[in-house]
A and B are shown apart, each in its own frame.
Chain A
Amino acid sequence: MTTRGWIEIAAFVLVMVVLVRPLGRYLWHVFERERPPAVRALGWLERALLRGGGLVDARGQSAREYGGAVLAFGFVGVIVTHALLRLQSLLPPDPGHAAVPPLLAFDTAVSFTTNTNWQAYAGESTMSYGAQMLALTWQNFVSAATGFGVMLAFARGLTRRADDDATVGNFWVDLVRALVYVLLPLSLAFALVLVSQGVIQCFAPPLQLATLEPGTQTIALGPVASQEAIKLIGVNGGGFFNANSAHPFENPTPLSDFLQCVAILLLPAALTHTYGCMTGNPRQGWVLLVAMTLLLLAGVAAVYAAEAAGNPAAALPGVAAGPNLEGKEVRFGLAGSALFATITTDASCGAVNGMHDSFTPLGGLVLLLDIMLGEVVFGGVGVGLVGMLVLALLTVFVAGLMVGRTPEYLGKKIEPREMKLAMLYLLTVPLVLLVLAAIAAVGPWGTAPLGNAGPHGLSEILYAYASASGNNGSAFAGLAADTPFYDLTLALAMLVGRFALVVPVLAIAASMRRKTPVPPGPGTLPTDGGSFLAVLLAVVLVVGALTFFPVLCLGPIVEHFTVAAGRFF
């Protein structure tokens, strides 16, 4: 660990936090107030898309209608994306590529529609430029915009005062505004910044050249920057190339790497302030941001320290002791690698600038745990904040039990119905994750594709299902996941992690929407202060970490101790 490394990490947090207030307020205005004057020039595009969708007078939807729209849009998204991948031999601008095989196309369509961006293929050898642009870039945009919608509907349910119409906004309007006023302009600007650093953007076929030492090299090219920008801003994570953000054409310099880190957390962080504005008390949002930032920093420090301690496999006589550099790039340095890995697993991004499979047992443990916390430490665009808010409801409920008062959040009473739905939300993912991982661990269908033996093999399985059900998308990539068993079970985990969670979330929104706020009493736990923060952190860690502690003991923890004792597998 170096001083410069720590300064880099501190600089990142500073930049991120400074951007929260202006961007959070901007988002609040875009979705809940008048469009800011600076972007009114884009109004024609919003109107054109809404008119084209047949939504001339879009009215507010109930939570049920809103949820129906989210599910319908996801359903159509899977089908269209699947069709595009199957038909990639016909797609411009570079027709002639073999169609993506059916199961892989299904897995990939689900993966990109659910904002997971799990990749059971290598981009440069499987996907044509047409498929990357049409199917994948498109879903990068709209799956992130959908996340905005889920968060907005949930927050409106919590914050709006009870009245007759009980609406939580209109999904189609939220979707279009997220695209027109947020994702498209940000991505356009960020893509050009990335090109300036050396990210490529062209439609030329792979380049063949004679190398300096006699020989040839064929270099994959493509429209990378346009996909790269939304991959990070939309917290998607699906790379153009197999090596993702470790590939020099996706992430060429330490500066591009730093900006990619900022881009991943930009919207999830800003949305905490948007939420604060929606509640009428920005401190409600700041508390959540502080909780997320503390958990992030703890993770970064742990990963940084674990990787600095070195790779046990490299502890050989005649090799100088040093940090673990297997699966890392020189230009990012150890701090840049630890920072990116923690951010991408905390946020449900899944882009990688180093190979998580080759991290030390404890470094890999932290990354796995980041995902297993439920993708609530920033998490995906919108959906991460929703997860944190569900845990906030659980927190006030637990605190209410301790003092024997009916818990309330933002003045609205939390009753058994909301708690049952919250528990449904919190238990669904662990259940699916652990059951599927158990099935994979007991037979050749799950163990034959593993890239590593011993406890690390179990970690590969766990990571795959955690990543899929958490809609993260990164991998312990030694697992050769394009088999019928993994394509189908991981697709199931991704669908549950996205769409099955939308249902309880919007059901909570519906029932909270109908409640009338009561003024705070002496037994009310204020949810904008330090004691709430402390209990919230405890709840996040207990719920997330304890659920998975037994199975983590069998994977990374046992690996740590066996390899320290000199045992390799």
Chain B
Amino acid sequence: MRRTLVIAVRLSLLTLVVTGVVYPLLVTAAAQLLFPRQAHGSLVTDDDGTVVGAAPIGQRFTAPGYLHGRPSAAGAQGYDAMASSGSNLGPSSLALRERMTAEHTRLRALNPQQPLAVPVELVSASASGLDPHLSPEAARWQAPRIAAARGVTLARVLAVIDANVESPDLGLLGEPRVNVLRTNLALDRTFDGHGVGSVLAR
């Protein structure tokens, strides 16, 4: 018994060093060497080279001239990348029902130009609270508002959105999707030149 415990302690400490220290350091070294951009969060810069976000991490957008991501339960304001979380509200939850109703009312008021029903995705909070994507349908649904806010034609906004649709991986996995941050950068670039988007937001 005593001998067994001694072996257990010795092997615990040895495996702790191998799997808890050497292994993560090896992975880090190899990752920094092979994929340095991804290893640091796939950061996105604007035309000036200023970092404006991480491509995989959703941001909060409220200006009418930008695409808005899905409702987020991460942090009090949403899209808090230090507090990833879903709402964890069940399908029979009154709180969920009320939140979805309120979200629907808000979206209706914000998008008077759009006659179609609100896509269910836009009243549903993501799992991480940091979902960087929208489906192409949910992005196009917001296009009339963006066109009105920016004073451009609907067709030109739709063209920017369509140019930013990413296909399923290997043509097979997942769904077509639009990265909200990248598309908003593209909108600024196409219509306003640099910085005007920021002015819009104020």
Contact = CB atoms under 8 A, between A and B. Distances in A.
A313 B20 contact: no
Interface string B21-50: 101101110111011001111110010001
Best-surrounded residue of A192, A227, A313, A455 (most CB of chain B within 10 A): A313
B128 A49 contact: no
Given A80-B12, A197-B38, A318 B108 contact: yes
A207 to B, nearest CB: 7
B39 A242 contact: no
B110 to A, nearest CB: 13
Nearest to A356: B88
B76 interface: no
A361 B90 CA distance: 8
Interface string A310-324: 111110101111111
B84 A196 contact: no
Interface string A325-353: 11111111110100000000000000011
Contact of A52 (B10, B96, B135, B177): B10
B34 A314 contact: no
A535 to B, nearest CB: 36
A243 B175 contact: no
Contact of A200 (B16, B41, B169): B41
A188 B19 CA distance: 10
A456 interface: yes
Contact of B4 (A69, A218, A318): A69
A172 B11 contact: yes
A247 B91 contact: no
Nearest to B12: A76
A38 interface: no
Contact of A198 (B1, B38, B62, B128): B38
Interface stretch (B115-123, B146-154, B155-163): B115-123
B101 to A, nearest CB: 6
Contacts of B117: 318-320
A55 B7 CA distance: 8
A452 B32 CA distance: 43
A549 interface: no
Given A137-B24, A254-B168, A255-B173, A210 B92 contact: no
B84 A321 contact: no
Interface stretch (A388-396, A417-425, A559-567): A559-567
Interface residues of A, number: 132
Contact of A459 (B43, B46, B90): B90
A172 B11 CA distance: 8
Nearest to B26: A188
A200 to B, nearest CB: 5
Interface of B: 1, 4-16, 18-21, 23-24, 26-28, 30-32, 34-35, 38-43, 46, 50-63, 66, 70, 74, 79-94, 96-97, 100-101, 104, 108, 116-121, 123-135, 168-170, 172-175, 177, 181, 184-185, 188, 197-198, 201-202
8 smallest beta-carbon distances between A and B, as pairs: A254-B174, A246-B127, A355-B86, A248-B56, A478-B88, A322-B120, A243-B84, A138-B20
Given A69-B7, A188-B27, A212-B53, 6 more contacts: A195-B34, A209-B43, A211-B59, A221-B41, A249-B56, A318-B108
20 contacts: A8-B173, A54-B6, A54-B7, A69-B4, A72-B5, A179-B18, A187-B23, A188-B23, A201-B27, A204-B40, A210-B52, A213-B63, A219-B82, A248-B57, A254-B169, A327-B86, A330-B70, A358-B87, A452-B90, A459-B90
